[in-house]
Structure 1
């Protein structure tokens, strides 16, 4: 699967991943290969990425996630350190 995390001013992450956990408005959920198409709003919280190199996290300030054909796009309002 490919993942892109974008903010209004830059691309924060792009790469192949095995799973992504996002902070959905109704609770966090995990996206795996073959996930059904979805568009969901996101709350402030952690995006947890698992790939061949291990685990990586980004703390986002709300946004939207779209999943379609094993491509995940996270449009975040901001990513905080």
Structure 2
């Protein structure tokens, strides 16, 4: 009985009590900002990439229209 009690306490403390208690507060506090910050960062990065793609597309359309306009003038 004396040997069983310390084994149970030792196995519970490092495996469950010690592992769960620090992990829960540590994971809850950083996870909340991390889950808020990471998607926010991803969203902002994706939005920036989308804006850059839209700007590049607009520039390409502008060049194409200019080229077509010059071609039309030269053919007239």
Q: Normalized against structure 2, the TM-score is what?
A: 0.12
Question: Higher helix share goes to which structure?
Answer: 2
Determine which structure has greater relative contact order: mean sequence separation of CA pairs < 8 Å that are 6+ residues apart, divided by chain length.
Answer: 1
**Rg bigger for which structure?**
2
Structure with more of its chain in strand, by fraction? 1
